[in-house]
Structure 1
Amino acid sequence: MNRQLPLFSRRDRVRLGQFLVLLLATLILLPQVPAHGSANLIANPGFESIDGGNPVCWEQSGWGTSGYSFAVTPAAHSGTKAMRVTMTTAGSGDRKAMMLENPSCAPNVTPGRQYDLGAWYTTTTPNTVLTAFRHDVAQGWVYWTDLATLPTTSTWTRKVVRTPVVPPNTDQVVWGITIYGVGTLTTDDYTMEDVTQPAAGTACSAGAACTAGQWAVMPFNSPVRAIHSVVLRNGDVLLVAGSGNNVDDFAAGTFKSAIYKPSTGTFNTVPTPADLFCSGHVQLSDGRVLVMGGNKDYPAADLSHGYKGLKNSYVFDPAANSYTRVNDMTAGSWYPSATMLGNGDVISLGGLGEDSAGTVATQYFKTAQQRWLGLNEANQSWSFWGLYPSMILMQDGRLFYSGSHVFGNGLPGSGSSIYDYTANTITPVNGLQRKDERDQSMSVLLPPAQDQKVLTLGGGNIDSNPDANRLTDLIDLKKATPAYAAGPLLPTGKLTGGVPQTSTQGKMYVSAVLLPDGKVFETGGGLHNRADPVYEASMYDPATNKFTAAMAVDPVPRTYHSSAFLLPDGRVMAVGDNPGNGTFDMRISVYSPPYLFKGARPQILTMADPQWTYGTTKNITVDGPITRAELIRPAAVTHSSDPNQRFVDVPITVNGNSVGLNLTSNPNLAPPGWYMLFVVGTNGVPSVAKWVHVG
């Protein structure tokens, strides 16, 4: 039998009306969300719910010695409450209104997805950034990234920033707005929305190239022995030989360089003023190339001396395709390091001097003065760092010596250390495996630079000449006491003639290239000193800490005096091979990674200004949805060494096809200079790079 429900009583109707009025008022006060209407994941986004004087699910966070105060203020963007943070005195540290790191308050996230983080704010100091932390199921809560620097504003302003793709093993994220200078910050109406784009079609009809990529050997040779390779700010490649490890050319004063134009496959030779064979080089902030040292003499037949280092130094100008001499270094340098600092200056360490002995001087190039400082003008530790020591700039301005070097054993002690030029201190770093078998290993600051993780791969020893190793070592430089931990082993490949390597054999002379999809392409190398090429290539994923083996293999052997590097079109170029019989392979190979076979490339349609200032937002337009943007510093590589190689994440603010790019405010993360700007589509395919100048 059907039974009717009773009608509402008059009192029930009054109560229902009151509830609907309250609900409507609440909806009016809620912050607006984008048209796609995804749910706001923030608990208590407007601070309206208070418990014990503090907004529910929020905390007063920060550290350091600066004076500060927190308050809940009625001067809100909407509703009746906002959070105010005031830093009253300058000191160390920061303060921030931050979501609580607990399961009931922290927003849940899904690995592989992206989220738009939004908040309304006013601030009286430019020292204001949006900061995010993530919960790793193995490590707990860890710092993730600073997503954007917020400009001062006295009126309520909304900032929306898109996160990078959430990495594996992350289940929750918290974030807030940080103040680290004297001033007042007020925030309100936080939003967090899942904006993951559905993946575009990834069907691929290119066969094995879809997963392994594809190599092509160019139908022309290099006109010079490519000992050194530098990608210039215009996309051309400077190839430097000097005497090219050829005693006859040295005796004849025949020193060579050439400019290779990948767009046309043509070369221009460049008059070369000295034997720049085994010099150091680094991109200066204006896009010119500082070249330091080189070869003053080959070893004497009577063994009275070995290689001697030059003091000469030059600047190569891509606009004129010519070298100009600057003042001499304070000591001879053959195989010196060269690291760009956050202030645009350059530190050079190690190498051999004019007397064939190890150079112990710290040599400092002052960019503003365009000169090398005198010996007594630079801080001196009087330490020998080896040959081509890999000195990587850290986010706090110190240098990390990774243990990668050239020739023989590593340094005494742990084989790795942190060098503070300002304090003139050296701190040992533990954990590097078989430190005396890392000759011509390679170290890279992994993508993104904000994570401050370094991977060191392979290596051997030209003196004891064991089988090169498969070791990798990983370090997190953000930790209070950084130490290496063993990473996954390099995959094995095949030797000359197709003979498989054994499970214990690895390679020295290895190359590692940062790609615009956030992975590291590992290629080339040899099993022994100037012998036994190893035909193997793999792809390392920093997010999973795993290698994907069986990438396509360069058909040209790449051992001693070889290098590989990223081109602005997203391909990888490889040059050089100088085996023990003194020959030199002049062929050029170019690798197209798998992403180039997975669909249309996104395009950067407009970019109003290529000059970028730290902590600012620059706008571009693109032709479709993208998932990320990044800056990659162009290569300056030789002997498995390019300590300045880095991939800087650029958090994005998306409004249709208009994208705001939020540059870090820390020049130690992105030292001044020219960078390749890539954007990556939802199908994982990167654009062709646009050139931007940071500084």
Structure 2
Amino acid sequence: MISSNHFLLHILFHLFTTATLADLPGTWQLLVPNAGVSSMHTAVTRFNTVVLLDRTNIGPTRKHLRPGHCRTDPNDPVLKHDCYAHSVLLEPDTGKLRPLMILTDTWCSSGQFLPDGTLLQTGGDGDGVKKIRKFTPCRASAVCDWEELGEVELAHGRWYSTNQILPDGSVIIVGGRAATSVEFFPARHGAGAVNFPFLVETEDTQMDNLYPYVHLLPNGHLFVFANNRAVLYDYTNNNVLKQYPQLAGGPRNYPSAGSSVMLALTGDYSSATIVVCGGAEYGAFIDRNSDSPAHGSCGRIEAMISDPIWEMEDMPFGRIMGDMVMLPTGEVLIINGAQAGTQGFELASNPCLYPVLYRPDTPVGLRFMTLNPGSVPRMYHSTANLLPDGRVLIAGSNPHYFYKFNAEFPTELRIEAFSPEYLLPEKANIRPVIVELPGKISYASGFDVVVTVELPVVGIVEVNLASAPFATHSFSQGQRLVKLAVSSAIPAGLGSYRITCTAPPDGRVAPPGYYMLFAVNTGVPSVAKWVQLI
């Protein structure tokens, strides 16, 4: 029997815990109860639709292809004649889903948007390892689908590689299992790949150099991180310009799965800060140890100074397979993942349901804020993507080889949205609304953005460009946020304000393509409008 004192303590603990959770920032929303596929790869298009993509060799999904559009593949180990969709197009505002046709296996592939808004998708497993695919987005009322390029293919098979758009609008494809090289799309100097010895040097017995973290710096070179090391890479001359200090805390890339972002570029764009967070203990993958504690450490480094060092700090939770999402404000959302194990099928436990906000301008030791927890475990093969309305779309999680719905951590078909604190209703009166801006902006040019705000503007309204990355395996390929030089907001009548902005100086700061343009007033972002930077 429970004593009255114990019962009272139990009630007080319950009330305290409930109140604490209710007071944590952020809210959750179920967008789609069944997307039909578990999204291993996710990307947001300029038409405010979302491409969800899984592998093809998993057998039946929960979404059929359109009648007459079945895939016939004699080499498929599960379904030779496959009438199920393995990719869908989602309208987040309505929840509508449309099946897409993908022909070759996209398991652990890579992607990047091209300057014209086309999604380039490369590699995979099996018959997809050398394939190049394109998805040209269209409005929700039209019909668009995947296209497999027949006339060109990758020089090296690419499985677990990383894509990054370059200043000239081409794409570099880095690494992959058994591919210690880089290549380009379109191919440079004819077809072929270029050996990249750094990927040989960082390969260990569990191949912790897969899905390398690749960031284009505003000096035009690449910051490439693999395992626990990083280099400054001149891809034009295939030359390593700098070896950065080793990051303490063990391996950070697949399968030991931390995550990484480049913080917002601002000012004169003469500096770039890289953050790498989380990861698994070395050996957890080899030993198939799902109980091995995840790392909670983060390293932060100034990539463009002469003698950079890693500044270390700890997250509130150890985390593997977390996704780091650049928010329109310049803060970073860390979400999804687990507190033990490693990447791989059946290899993680103790899901980390608590998102964390990383506030880069706060002193070290005070940068992390714990947010309102979700209720859906998002582990292996989950994704997180910024939406134009400021929410973060959360998809996927399939820690099993096939779709499995009766497991402790089932295959996840639900799509959720997490709303940061800046979307609280009480902040609506300071949330700007963009009413005027050009559809295209040219490098180094001036242009105006007109916004309306319910309450008078106090101070500077930021205007920030956010890319639409390709999110997969705890890293968002091509993710960047650029804060533009702006004038003070000038009243323009009827509650509107005119802000004069200067576009990025060149493609090293922001490669050509479509960006979400946000106006941010006192930490509260507008709904973004898409602009093309040319």
Given residue 304 of structure 2, which amino acid in structure 1 is its aligned partner?
K
The 3-state SS of whatever aligns with 2:418 is strand
- The separation in 2 between residues aligned to 1:558 and 1:250, in whole angstroms, is 27
| Deviation sequence 1:132-189 (CA, Å, 0-9, x none) | xxxxxxxxxxxxxxxxxxxxxxxxxxxxxxxxxxxxxxxxxxxxxxxxxxxxxxxxxx
1:629 aligns with 2:463: yes
Aligned to 2:421: 594
- The separation in 2 between residues aligned to 1:588 and 1:641, in whole angstroms, is 19
Cα distance, 1:245 vs structure 2: 5.2
The 3-state SS of whatever aligns with 1:631 is strand
| Deviation sequence 1:371-398 (CA, Å, 0-9, x none) | 576445x654355363211111111111
- Say if 1:229 and 1:437 are closer, same or farther in 2 by CA, change over 3 A: closer
Larger radius of gyration: 1
- The separation in 2 between residues aligned to 1:632 and 1:664, in whole angstroms, is 12
- The separation in 1 between residues aligned to 2:464 and 2:24, in whole angstroms, is 23
- The counterpart of 2:279, out of the listed 459, 465, 478, is 459
Cα distance, 1:641 vs structure 2: 1.3
Aligned to 1:441: 258
Aligned to 1:313: 132
- The separation in 2 between residues aligned to 1:210 and 1:652, in whole angstroms, is 35
Q: Work out whether residues 251 and 279 of structure 2, in 8 Å CA contact, stay in contact via their aligned partners in 1.
A: no
Cα distance, 1:429 vs structure 2: 1.3
1:289 aligns with 2:116: no
Q: How does 1:152-167 map to 2 (within 5 A)?
A: none
1:615 aligns with 2:444: yes
Aligned to 1:690: 529
- The counterpart of 1:577, out of the listed 373, 394, 397, is 397
Aligned to 2:237: 423
1:343 aligns with 2:173: no
- The separation in 2 between residues aligned to 1:263 and 1:230, in whole angstroms, is 15
- Say if 1:219 and 1:477 are closer, same or farther in 2 by CA, change over 3 A: closer
- Say if 1:263 and 1:310 are closer, same or farther in 2 by CA, change over 3 A: same
Aligned to 2:147: 324
- Say if 1:278 and 1:330 are closer, same or farther in 2 by CA, change over 3 A: same
Cα distance, 1:278 vs structure 2: 1.3
The 3-state SS of whatever aligns with 1:402 is strand
- The counterpart of 2:359, out of the listed 536, 541, 545, is 541
- How high is the TM-score relative to the length of structure 2? 0.78
Q: Work out whether residues 400 and 418 of structure 1, in 8 Å CA contact, stay in contact via their aligned partners in 2.
A: yes
Cα distance, 1:542 vs structure 2: 0.8
1:552 aligns with 2:372: yes
The 3-state SS of whatever aligns with 2:135 is strand
1:516 aligns with 2:328: yes
Given residue 510 of structure 1, which amino acid in structure 2 is its aligned partner?
G
Cα distance, 1:249 vs structure 2: 4.6
- The separation in 2 between residues aligned to 1:207 and 1:693, in whole angstroms, is 43
Q: How many residues align?
A: 444
- Say if 1:448 and 1:348 are closer, same or farther in 2 by CA, change over 3 A: same
- The counterpart of 1:491, out of the listed 316, 321, 328, is 316
Aligned to 1:3: none
Q: Work out whether residues 315 and 323 of structure 1, in 8 Å CA contact, stay in contact via their aligned partners in 2.
A: yes
| Deviation sequence 1:67-101 (CA, Å, 0-9, x none) | xxxxxxxxxxxxxxxxxxxxxxxxxxxxxxxxxxx
- The separation in 2 between residues aligned to 1:364 and 1:238, in whole angstroms, is 23
Given residue 213 of structure 2, which amino acid in structure 1 is its aligned partner?
S
- The separation in 1 between residues aligned to 2:189 and 2:412, in whole angstroms, is 39
Q: Work out whether residues 258 and 270 of structure 1, in 8 Å CA contact, stay in contact via their aligned partners in 2.
A: yes
- The separation in 1 between residues aligned to 2:172 and 2:486, in whole angstroms, is 33
Aligned to 1:676: 516
- Percent identity of paired positions between Structure 1 and Structure 2: 30
Aligned to 1:77: none
Q: Work out whether residues 402 and 456 of structure 1, in 8 Å CA contact, stay in contact via their aligned partners in 2.
A: no
Given residue 292 of structure 1, which amino acid in structure 2 is its aligned partner?
T
Aligned to 2:408: none
- The separation in 1 between residues aligned to 2:20 and 2:419, in whole angstroms, is 13
- The separation in 2 between residues aligned to 1:229 and 1:646, in whole angstroms, is 16
- The separation in 1 between residues aligned to 2:341 and 2:197, in whole angstroms, is 32
Q: Work out whether residues 330 and 372 of structure 1, in 8 Å CA contact, stay in contact via their aligned partners in 2.
A: no
Q: How does 1:254-293 map to 2 (within 5 A)?
A: 256-293=86-123
Q: Work out whether residues 214 and 552 of structure 1, in 8 Å CA contact, stay in contact via their aligned partners in 2.
A: yes
Aligned to 2:204: none
Aligned to 2:483: 649
- The separation in 1 between residues aligned to 2:215 and 2:394, in whole angstroms, is 23
Given residue 312 of structure 1, which amino acid in structure 2 is its aligned partner?
K
Relative contact order, CA 8 A, sep 6+: which one is greater? 2
| Deviation sequence 1:598-646 (CA, Å, 0-9, x none) | 2322111112x21111101111211133521100001310000113111
Aligned to 2:341: 528
Q: Work out whether residues 432 and 485 of structure 1, in 8 Å CA contact, stay in contact via their aligned partners in 2.
A: no
- Say if 1:425 and 1:250 are closer, same or farther in 2 by CA, change over 3 A: farther
Q: Work out whether residues 56 and 103 of structure 2, in 8 Å CA contact, stay in contact via their aligned partners in 1.
A: no
Aligned to 1:480: 306
Given residue 419 of structure 2, which amino acid in structure 1 is its aligned partner?
S
- The separation in 2 between residues aligned to 1:508 and 1:207, in whole angstroms, is 25
- Say if 1:666 and 1:361 are closer, same or farther in 2 by CA, change over 3 A: same
Cα distance, 1:435 vs structure 2: 3.4
- The separation in 2 between residues aligned to 1:244 and 1:509, in whole angstroms, is 23
Given residue 300 of structure 2, which amino acid in structure 1 is its aligned partner?
L
The 3-state SS of whatever aligns with 1:332 is coil
- The counterpart of 1:242, out of the listed 49, 55, 63, is 55
- The separation in 1 between residues aligned to 2:316 and 2:272, in whole angstroms, is 25
Q: Work out whether residues 56 and 102 of structure 2, in 8 Å CA contact, stay in contact via their aligned partners in 1.
A: no
| Deviation sequence 1:650-685 (CA, Å, 0-9, x none) | 121232211111112131111111000000123x22
Q: Work out whether residues 229 and 246 of structure 2, in 8 Å CA contact, stay in contact via their aligned partners in 1.
A: no
Given residue 479 of structure 1, which amino acid in structure 2 is its aligned partner?
I
- The separation in 2 between residues aligned to 1:331 and 1:207, in whole angstroms, is 52
The 3-state SS of whatever aligns with 1:242 is coil
Aligned to 2:199: 384
Cα distance, 1:269 vs structure 2: 0.5
Q: Work out whether residues 243 and 250 of structure 1, in 8 Å CA contact, stay in contact via their aligned partners in 2.
A: no
- The separation in 2 between residues aligned to 1:690 and 1:210, in whole angstroms, is 31
Aligned to 1:155: none
- The separation in 2 between residues aligned to 1:442 and 1:277, in whole angstroms, is 19
- Say if 1:250 and 1:616 are closer, same or farther in 2 by CA, change over 3 A: farther
| Deviation sequence 1:534-554 (CA, Å, 0-9, x none) | 222111111114334330112
- Say if 1:208 and 1:651 are closer, same or farther in 2 by CA, change over 3 A: farther
Cα distance, 1:516 vs structure 2: 1.2
Given residue 513 of structure 1, which amino acid in structure 2 is its aligned partner?
V
The 3-state SS of whatever aligns with 2:251 is helix
- The separation in 2 between residues aligned to 1:418 and 1:628, in whole angstroms, is 30
Cα distance, 1:220 vs structure 2: 1.9
Bigger drift between 247-256 and 317-326 goes to 247-256
The 3-state SS of whatever aligns with 1:622 is strand
Cα distance, 1:315 vs structure 2: 1.2
- The counterpart of 2:384, out of the listed 559, 564, 570, is 564
- The separation in 2 between residues aligned to 1:453 and 1:515, in whole angstroms, is 16
- Say if 1:431 and 1:379 are closer, same or farther in 2 by CA, change over 3 A: closer
1:432 aligns with 2:237: no
Aligned-residue CA RMSD (Å): 2.3
Given residue 616 of structure 1, which amino acid in structure 2 is its aligned partner?
S
Cα distance, 1:485 vs structure 2: 2.4
The 3-state SS of whatever aligns with 2:212 is coil
Cα distance, 1:471 vs structure 2: 0.9
Bigger drift between 314-323 and 272-281 goes to 314-323
Cα distance, 1:580 vs structure 2: 4.6
Aligned to 2:296: 470
Q: What 5-or-longer segments of structure 1 have no aligned partner?
A: 1-205, 298-308, 353-357, 404-409, 493-505
Given residue 272 of structure 2, which amino acid in structure 1 is its aligned partner?
Q
